[in-house]
Amino acid sequence: MLSKFAIDYLSFSHHGNRTFTHLTDDPIEAEDFLMQLLAARARITAIRHDGAAMTAKQFDRMLKVASERISSELLRVSLGLDPSEIKDRFGFAA
């Protein structure tokens, strides 16, 4: 059985570029993993859902959610704000 989400990415290490695939059935775990990839500046090459490549709009939406979660966490830590203040001031999800 296929995993619900498959994320293909390139790892930029001293061992050369190698494509990896992260598999998960949990959409929250997929978002968390995308956050880690964005923070590590890895190249995300594809996101598949139920074996089919996501549309550009779906792909962008998943990355937007992950990047907003990163921004929200950085603001929370750097400014000492609670999630409701972040949502009110910056519009990011709490």
Q: Which residues contact 57 (CB under 8 A, 6 or more apart)?
A: none
User: Residue 5: what pLDDT?
Assistant: 96
Domain count, the chain: 1
Axis-axis angle for helices 27-40, 56-79 (nearest 10): 70
pLDDT above 70 for 49: yes
Query: pLDDT digit string (tens) for 10-42?
Result: 987 666 678 899 999 999 999 999 999 999 999
Q: Which two tokens stand for residue 92?
A: 């990011």
User: Residue 3: what pLDDT?
Assistant: 73
* pTM, two decimal places: 0.85
Residue 38 is part of which domain span? Answer: 5-90
Find the mean pLDDT for residues 32-53: 94
Q: Which residues contact 49 (CB under 8 A, 6 or more apart)?
A: 4, 5, 58
